């Protein structure tokens, strides 16, 4: 068997055996040909939305971007952080602007807003003292926000303080008790602050600030008594207390004001519903008139004031008899008749003459002007057979 000759490439120029090795090829590692990480879309969106559109949404996009970047290894962390910061700042500016807009156009109470509209120095209610004058927003003394701005009494003001007192440390006593106590306390305070009640202008009214149930629970017990003059542009203090009057004037006004206070405590319920309450009230009025009677008995012989005092004394004695009869009345009708007779016994003209003899105001106030039920039964503070 013939062995085939080995296979060789043909001899000749350009050929050699074995073939040469291929030259080495140098280049980057395979990983260099992979694509770079993708840019996170939420990162870019957070910056754009925070700057141009809706900042709160930009905050959400930035948080989502940071979470995805950490999980997927995507690019854009710096953009996401910048978007978060910008969105937070823009949101804060937006909230501040909306709040100021709402306060300005919706009337929401705010100190900055009121400070531009009310003349005076913003002062807390607990800082107001007797004799202080102040303004309130819009002149509304019934506004429960109760922003007060202290101002000199020689300038136009809405009210002045006649008393500032504490109501005790008991549990919240209820609105009815507070109103009754405030009315009685502030009426006495006003009569002590402006003793010549006839000298007060017709637009002067009594007001008071009492604690609310919530403020009471927080320790607020302060009662603030006021003379309000917000319906007119009033200047000057209305104060005319015992230190600004003569001793004789103080004595007379003390007696007259005590009678007025007693008359003003007429029971709320009708006579036929609460006869015992009315009888008790009649006795208190008689006691106040008895004190005035004793005072008048000591001045009837004085020159100048004697004749007017004697005339008033006769009327007081007649009125006391009727009040005593009312206190003993067995039936509502009997009480009513005695009540009407007692009111008719005291003449406004006689009191006017007495006040004039003491150098006091003779301007008859509105609450003593003639009303539908007769002389001296007008509306307001003065008593009548209907209400006070």
Predicted confidence at residue 15, as pLDDT, reads: 45
Mark the ranges of the chain whose per-residue pLDDT is less than 50: 1-3, 6-9, 11-17, 25-27, 30-33, 104-115, 375-388
Tell me how long the chain is.
Answer: 388
Predicted confidence at residue 33, as pLDDT, reads: 45
Closest CA to 383 of 310, 278, 276, 243: 278
For residues 344-366, b (16+ Cβ closer than 10 Å) or e, as one string? bbbebebbbbbbebbebeeebbe
Predicted confidence at residue 21, as pLDDT, reads: 54
CA distances from 132 to 128, 129, 238, 249 (A): 6, 6, 11, 25
Is this model's pTM higher than 0.85 or not? no
Predicted confidence at residue 200, as pLDDT, reads: 94
> Which residues on adjacent β-strands are paired with residue 151?
133
Predicted confidence at residue 44, as pLDDT, reads: 73
| Cβ atoms of residues 34 and 70 within 8 Å | no
Write the burial class of residue 107 (CB in 10 Å: 0-12 exposed, 13-18 middle, 19+ buried). Answer: exposed
For 98-140, the pLDDT digits (tens) are: 666 555 444 444 444 444 578 999 998 889 999 999 999 988 8
Predicted confidence at residue 89, as pLDDT, reads: 81
State the Cα–Cα distance between residues 232 and 238, nearest whole angstrom: 14
Predicted confidence at residue 78, as pLDDT, reads: 83
Predicted confidence at residue 381, as pLDDT, reads: 42
Predicted confidence at residue 41, as pLDDT, reads: 76
Predicted confidence at residue 90, as pLDDT, reads: 80
State the Cα–Cα distance between residues 212 and 20, nearest whole angstrom: 107
Cis peptide before 18 (omega within 30 of 0): yes
| Cβ atoms of residues 323 and 338 within 8 Å | yes
- Residue with the two structure tokens 């280049």: 27
Predicted confidence at residue 281, as pLDDT, reads: 96
State the Cα–Cα distance between residues 298 and 226, nearest whole angstrom: 34
């Amino acid at each position: 068997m013939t062995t085939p000759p080995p296979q060789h490439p043909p001899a000749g120029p350009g050929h050699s055996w074995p073939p040469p090795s291929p030259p080495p090829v140098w280049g980057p590692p395979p990983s260099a040909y992979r694509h770079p990480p993708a840019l996170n879309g939420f990162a870019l969106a957070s910056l754009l939305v925070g700057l141009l559109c809706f900042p709160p949404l930009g905050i959400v996009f930035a948080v989502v971007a940071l979470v995805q970047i950490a999980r997927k290894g995507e690019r854009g962390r710096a953009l996401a952080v910048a978007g978060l910061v910008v969105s937070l700042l823009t949101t804060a500016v937006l909230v501040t602007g909306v709040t100021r807009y709402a306060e300005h156009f919706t009337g929401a109470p705010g100190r900055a807003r009121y400070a531009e509209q009310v003349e005076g120095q913003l002062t807390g209610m607990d800082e107001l003292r007797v004799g202080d004058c102040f303004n309130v927003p819009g002149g509304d003394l019934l506004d429960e926000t109760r922003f007060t701005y202290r101002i000199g009494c020689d300038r136009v003001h809405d009210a002045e303080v006649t008393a500032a007192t504490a109501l005790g440390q008991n549990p919240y006593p209820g609105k009815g008790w507070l109103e009754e106590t405030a009315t009685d306390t502030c009426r006495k305070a006003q009569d002590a602050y402006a003793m010549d009640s006839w000298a007060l202008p017709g637009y002067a009214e009594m007001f008071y600030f009492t604690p609310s149930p919530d403020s009471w629970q927080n320790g607020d017990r302060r009662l603030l008594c006021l003379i309000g003059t917000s319906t007119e542009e009033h200047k000057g203090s209305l104060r005319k207390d015992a230190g600004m009057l003569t001793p004789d004037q103080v004595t007379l006004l003390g007696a007259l004001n005590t009678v007025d206070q007693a008359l003003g405590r007429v029971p709320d319920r009708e006579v036929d519903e609460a006869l015992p309450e009315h009888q008790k009230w009649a006795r208190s009025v008689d006691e106040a008139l008895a004190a005035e009677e004793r005072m008048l008995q000591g001045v009837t012989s004085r020159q100048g004031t004697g004749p007017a005092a004697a005339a008033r004394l006769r009327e007081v004695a007649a009125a006391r008899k009727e009040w005593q009869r009312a206190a003993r009345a067995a039936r509502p009708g009997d009480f009513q008749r005695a009540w009407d007779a007692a009111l008719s016994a005291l003449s406004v003209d006689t009191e006017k003459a007495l006040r004039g003899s003491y150098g006091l105001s003779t301007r008859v106030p509105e609450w003593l002007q003639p009303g539908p039920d007769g002389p001296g039964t007008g509306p307001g503070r003065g008593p009548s057979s209907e209400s006070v």
